[in-house]
A and B are shown apart, each in its own frame.
Chain A
Amino acid sequence: MKKQKQDNPFNLLPEEIIFIILDLLNRNSLAIKSFSLVCKSFYAVESKHRCSLKPLRQERFPALLSRYPNITHLDLTLCSRVSDASLSLVSHSCASSLRSIDFSRTRLFSTYGLLGLALNCKNIVEIDLSNATELKDSAMAAVAEAKNLEKLSLARCKSITDMGVGCVAVGCRKLRFICLKWCFGVGDLGIGLLAVKCKHLCFLNLSYLPITNKCLSSISKLQHLEELVLEGCFGIEDDSLAVLKHGCNSLKSLDVSTCQNISHNGLPSLINGALGLRQLTLAHGSPVTSSLADCLRKHSMLQSVKLDGCLVTDDGLKTIGNWCASLRELSLSKCSGVTDEGLSSVVTKHRDLRKLDITCCRKITDASIASITNSCKSLTSLRVESCTLVTREAFVLIGQRCHLLEELDLTDNEVDDKGLNYISRCSELSSLKLGICLNITDEGLIHIGKGCSKLVELDLYRSEEITDSAILAIAQGCPGLEMINIAYCKYITDRSLLSLSKCPQLKMLESRGCSLITSLGLKAVAVGCKELTKLDIKKCHNIDDAGMLPLARFSQNLRQINLSHSSVTDIGLLSLASISCLQNMTILHLKGLTPAGLAAVLLACGGLTKVKLQATFRWLLPLRLVQYLESRGCMFQWKDKVLQEKLDPKSWKLQLEDLMA
């Protein structure tokens, strides 16, 4: 026994070194798991080392918490229900270590659980309570007991009011980050008090709150405020902003999206003092004219501007071109009024642009692409979705000139194989979207597979000419592929899936409407891609129970599955119960599904949180069963959709264009 121990070199290493090794392993959860299963001492070391935990169910809390004593970050987003009792267990076993906890998708806990947590875990600095729509002001009073809290997210806590925010403001003096998005009950008084009491605030998200300038005056006095989000604050108007003589000087990022009442008259009041402003979002706001753009002329630190959905004039774009700042990021997504002339005047001045989004700028032509690629050679992200006037020749320019591209969105464009051939020169490309590109074939994608070895995400949705050889080339050339969408690529067969099974990182596979693929192909993916978490095989008619069995056995990380219109029956579904992570299941139009079988499946899959079912089953399942499952944390969506006719991509696109016209 003793001899064995000395043989083990890890026994000679101090714990700190092993911790560093574990840190390096941390990216791969399977590796950590394997490490801890080697021997007792490894198990103990790993238990000591782990500081972050993302449990699946609250029933496992006692075991998990006794195994890992040094948890600092607890992510409960996968537990749809956490009771007060479980929470009190957490607050007692992680009393001093816990620093951060995330409840953003969790329900059931109440004020008393939170209070216990706040009182016991004195070192807690971060709480995320987003989407806790039932929480009331009393819960905020409980949160206020966490005196060291620095970060608090209350997005969509619709039931809290000024009183609750007031409690937090008084209790959590160290607060630096607070998100109150969609807390409709919070108004000027609460925010005003927050600004008065929490002097260290540096991030403030007040989106969609019914606030006016009354609280803005106290916000503008915050010395450390760096990021302010005022999206959809309709109560803030130009006239009232004029009162603010010198906005927030420390501001680095401002978001006034959807604030239609803020124009070039009021905006200067907010930002004139903030010479360090780096990021500005004016999406869906008042038209971007030269007078609005002129407000920002002197902000030399400005790096990112988002004007999504605004009406943009040529003059406005020209004025942006004259700013003294050199922009790194510009988003003109869905901006009407963007022309070749305007866009060219911007890009020729801001040559350092890294990210450019011109999604749905339908007036631009090859000329714009030419000037973009000419001026902005260091672009890393370019989104050109649905720029319908741009011809296939223009995409050649992208590949020729922008070699640093990491993200390229060419969805719904005229790009062809020649274009892809040039694009394959972008060796850094990690995300490529070629959905509804009807001109591309295997040839182009083979080039991509050869050139873009760092590809992580590939979207080939409804690019119907693609066949197995393209997928083979991608799978061979891009071993790091994590997401692939081959939906409605009708020539795809099992051979594609067989090739994809060689991508061990694959997490998401969407192959809707690939009617040629069978259970055999799915089996290969299941065996090869252990990380698979999301699988969509809707309308794959040839997939049956034989495909489910290997899935159930090998894809232990599967969290979401769509099996609608497949040939899977009760038995296949029931086998999926062995996947403990499975939370989300869409099972519409399964011919082989019986009410009794469905009931068994639902009971067996204990971790389900969301199930989409045909409405007819609502009356076929025992009501008490449905109630029980709901009490277990499972939500049902009853769908009553009629089976749609199958469309080929071209007629589908034509139909879409008809709809838009």
Chain B
Amino acid sequence: MDLKDKVPRHASFTQHQQKWEDPSILDYSRRIESPFLAFNQTHTSQIKVPVQHGVVNELVQASKVQDWDPSAMLDNLSFLEQKIHQLQDLVHLIIGRKGQVLGRPDELVVQQQQLVTADLTSIIVQLISTAGSLLPSGKHTLSAATPSLEQSGQFGGVVFPSAQGLNDGFQPQNAGGCKVSGLPNSVDISRKNGNEQNHIIEEHELKDEEDVEEGESLIPGTYEILQLEKEEILAPHTHFCTICGKGFKRDANLRMHMRGHGDEYKTPGALAKPNKESGSEPTIIKRYSCPYTGCKRNKDHKKFQPLKTILCVKNHYKRTHCDKSYICSRCNTKKFSVIADLKTHEKHCGKDKWLCSCGTTFSRKDKLFGHIALFQGHTPAIPLEEAKAPAGPSDQGDSNHAANKVGSMNFNFSSNVSSESEVQSSMDIKGNVDDPAGYFSPLSFDTCNFGGFHEFPRPPFDDSESNLAFLLSGSCNYPHTSGED
């Protein structure tokens, strides 16, 4: 079952949450069937399901009303009571059915055990969380200080109090917790978490897509670190329809989509943006770790710097650890791994390229001039394109177009020129840089048919402008010609 390998750390990722949620709530009966039908052909479990479903909904409502509230506390307690009763019923049921089903006793016993353990676990979790809500301001520290299975079940996340070593021992337990998903109460919790996660993601997607800068100095241990796996990071969609499985980038779009699945999704409550649990819910600072080992953004790095949001994780991972597969169609040189970066670049590509002889480009002219004023020997580099006559032949294809833009008409043959090979390599000028005098010697002019030019080699009745254009275009081709020898 994919849940087991996919969710080593419980609820850190929404997509996963969704997948998990998907079968556990809506296809509940079908999912339940596999364990239950094996040992029990009766309809009891199926009858139970709707009941539990109702409970689930109640619980969602209840958990939305916050724990600080005494009435919510009462709700929680009565829920626990109900829960214990249900478990009691279940155990009764198992005892009652024991004699009837004899097919595969071992397997059945295991399944029964699991079921009971899961239920118990969830009860314990609920109990502790209820108790925890009573401690004023201790909530955070409590969760951070007591790394336990229960907590991870409650908060749907991995907590690293201070010792990294805990991580290893923790994982299987957590995985065990995941198996409980078949049971309604844990489903509840996970759903709640899922909602929270969705909410977070959506918020970030609506924000501008800038990477959050580092420099934030959170004391290690005061925040929760989540780490997503590569596949999750690279998955295109983050919100999935629990009915048809269609993926969406935004929760809002998913909610719109959900309306098509029935009237219950058309209620204002269902369509409304899931509220952030306003203030009363402990806002645990969440930070993210990059799954790439050795990366500074990876939690195992000595100078670990966490990423602020899931979007940061995505952008960071793509920018740093993925191929740059988006190529700018204008310049054909700039590559990007994040499509938003490409779009930003394309907005500016080609225009407002202020180039210095050192190869540095500036988006603003005043910045270039400030740079030149500051550094000795740097000079503005004139794009080659400008040397071309406006009426010149348009033999330059799109690819050349780009090269021309970057290639600079740079006559500064001082030492710093060599460093800008990147810029100049697009032109054949580079080969000539060493010998500027020879480059413009009359001999070279002759090779370009410049020698006879004063005779106007064009048809005699030709207007002056086109002669000029011819000359200019000829001179533009010139570097190519001599560059080949």
* A residues neighboring B (CB under 8 Å): 58-59, 83-86, 88-89, 92, 107-108, 110-112, 115-116, 119-120, 134, 136-138, 140-142, 144-145, 162-164, 166-167, 170-171, 189-190, 192-193, 196-197, 623-625, 627-628, 630-631, 633
A164 cross-chain contacts in B, Cβ below 8 A: 380, 382
B372 to chain A, nearest CB (A): 6
Q: How many residues of B contact A (CB 8 A)?
A: 39
- Which one of A136, A140, A189, A628 lies within 8 Å of B369 (CB-CB)? A189
Q: Chain B 448-464 against A: per-residue CB contact (8 Å), 1 yes, 0 no?
A: 00111110100011111
- Minimum CB–CB distance for A167 against chain B, Å: 5
Are B445 and A85 touching (Cβ within 8 A)? yes
When each residue 178-217 of chain B gets 1 if its CB lies under 8 Å from chain A and 0 otherwise, what string results? Answer: 0000000000000000000000000000000000000000
Q: A85-B442, A630-B464 known; 20 other A-B pairs, CB under 8 Å?
A: A84-B450, A85-B452, A92-B442, A108-B464, A116-B440, A119-B440, A136-B382, A141-B380, A144-B379, A163-B382, A166-B379, A166-B380, A167-B379, A167-B380, A170-B372, A170-B377, A170-B379, A197-B373, A631-B456, A631-B463
For A86, what are the chain B residues with a Cβ–Cβ distance below 8 Å?
Answer: 454
Nearest-neighbour CB distance to chain B for A624, whole angstroms, equals 4
Interface residues of B (CB under 8 A from A): 365-366, 369, 372-373, 377-380, 382, 384, 386-387, 409-412, 436-437, 440, 442, 445, 450-454, 456, 460-464, 467-468, 471-472, 475, 478
Residue in B closest to A109 when the chains form the complex, CB atoms: B471
CA distance A144 to B372 in the complex (A): 15
Contact A85 B450 (CB under 8 A): yes
Minimum distance in angstroms from B205 CB to a CB of chain A: 40
Complex: how many Å from CA A192 to CA B382? Answer: 18
Contact B387 A136 (CB under 8 A): yes
Cα distance A546–B450 in the bound complex, in angstroms? 45
Q: How far is the CA of A140 from the CA of B409 in the complex (A)?
A: 11
Bound-complex Cα distance A445 to B468 (A): 54
Of B380, B445, B463, which one neighbours A627 at CB under 8 angstroms? B463
Residue of A nearest to B410 (CB): A141
Asked if residues B411 and A85 are in contact (CB atoms below 8 Å), the reply is: no
- Given contacts A112-B475, A628-B460, are A83 and B453 in contact (CB under 8 A)? yes
Q: Are B411 and A84 in contact (CB under 8 A)?
A: no
Question: Quick one: closest A residue to B379, CB to CB?
Answer: A170
- Please, which residues of chain B bring their CB within 8 A of the CB of A193? 369, 372-373
Q: Decide: B475 and A628 in contact? CB cutoff 8 A.
A: no
Least CB distance, A133 to chain B, in whole angstroms: 12
Closest residue of chain A to B448 (Cβ to Cβ) is A112
CA distance A167 to B369 in the complex (A): 11
Chain B residues within 8 Å of A134, by CB: 468
Inter-subunit contact A137/B382 (CB<8 Å): yes
B372 and A115 contact, CB distance less than 8 A: no
CB within 8 Å for A85 and B464 given contacts A141-B409, A193-B369 = no
Closest CB-CB distance, B473 to chain A, in whole Å? Answer: 11
Given contacts A83-B471, A163-B380, A627-B463, contact A192 B369 (CB under 8 A): yes
Evaluate contact between B387 and A192: CB separation under 8 angstroms: no
B475 near A84 with CB under 8 A, answer: yes
A192 nearest CB across to chain B (Å): 7
Most buried by A among B386, B412, B437: B386
Chain B residues, CB < 8 A from A633:
464
Q: For B442, what are the chain A residues with a Cβ–Cβ distance below 8 Å? A: 85, 88-89, 92
When distances are taken between beta carbons in the complex, the residues of chain B under 8 Å from A189 are 365-366, 369
Name B436's closest neighbour in chain A (CB-CB): A119
Cα A196 to Cα B451 with chains together (Å): 41
A-B contact pairs, 12 of them (CB 8 A): A84-B471, A85-B442, A115-B440, A134-B468, A136-B387, A141-B409, A163-B382, A167-B379, A189-B365, A192-B373, A624-B461, A627-B461
A633 to B384, CA, bound (A): 28
